[in-house]
Amino acid sequence: MEIEGATGDRMDGFVPGTFSIAARDPEAGEFGVAVSTALVGVGALCPFVSENAAVATQSFVKVSHGANAVEMADRGVSVPTALDALVTDDDHASYRQVHGIDAGGRTYAFSGDDCVDWYGHLEAEDHTVAGNMLANGDVIEVMSETFGATRGELAERLMAALEAGQEAGGDKRGKISAALLVHSSDPKLYHNLRIDNSEDPVGDLREAFELGKETEADLPASADEMLGEYPEEILDFGLKY
């Protein structure tokens, strides 16, 4: 695992800064992104997933990079090829940060030279991590280490990594929003969560995550109580991506 990044003194002003992890669980066939920032509504901007890829687009974000990358992955294009082409064709790529992984385990991470310090990224087994305007370079390294050391389903490992990044310093401006997005063949209520405006977005995301797991587990009993007999298929909600 090699960390690529830069340090310096430039930080003043209300500039987009974010830390995120994109990952896959090859056995479960799941892809996910967890992300937090000191701007409102990060879940509407940064995480993109499909049955073939997980991508995060951040810094001075270009939402279409994430959407186009996962769409290309679904057509059989590797994430490195897709993101490299998108970055190459972007006149303002020096302000962007994008990273992700595909179904073949191929990774890509890019941080433009005009991202705000501290910024950097890394690529590791089954995941990529990147951040900009961070408290320090430890943030992404700790996220990667935590993801690798955590056991359980992909969503839990992503949450643990995000919490570790926040504990290591996170976005040096503060905390406002966080999000978790997971694509799974067995979607759960806690696979698509957003905290858009909070004094403790990662903590609130964990609270929503645990409530989602509890609600998911209680659904059959609740349906039994409300409906008596019912077709089990009505509890297969699916998930919006």
Cα–Cα distance measured from residue 191 to residue 184, given in angstroms and rounded to the nearest whole number: 8
State the pLDDT confidence band at 129, using cuts at 50, 70 and 90: very high
Residue 176 has pLDDT above 80, yes or no: yes
* Better pLDDT: 57 or 17: 57
Has this prediction a pTM greater than 0.95? no
| Per-residue confidence (pLDDT) for residue 240, from 0 to 100 | 87
Q: How far apart are CA 107 and CA 115, in angstroms?
A: 20
- Whole-angstrom distance, CA of residue 18 vs CA of residue 212: 25
Q: What's the pLDDT at 4?
A: 63
Task: Tell whether the model's pLDDT for residue 10 goes beyond 50.
Answer: no
User: What is the greatest pairwise CA distance in the chain?
Assistant: 64
The pair of structure tokens assigned to 60 is 């001075």
Distance CA 69, CA 42 (A): 18
pLDDT beyond 70 at 184: yes
d(CA 82, CA 6): 25
| Nearest Cα residue to 138 out of 172, 178, 109 | 172
Rounded distance, CA 204 to CA 209, Å?
A: 8
158-162: average pLDDT: 98
pLDDT digit string, tens, across residues 34-91:
999 999 999 999 999 999 999 999 999 999 999 999 999 999 999 999 999 999 999 9
pLDDT of amino acid 2: 52
Could you tell me the CA-to-CA distances from 161 to 13, 101, 120, 219 in Å, in that order? 27, 16, 16, 28
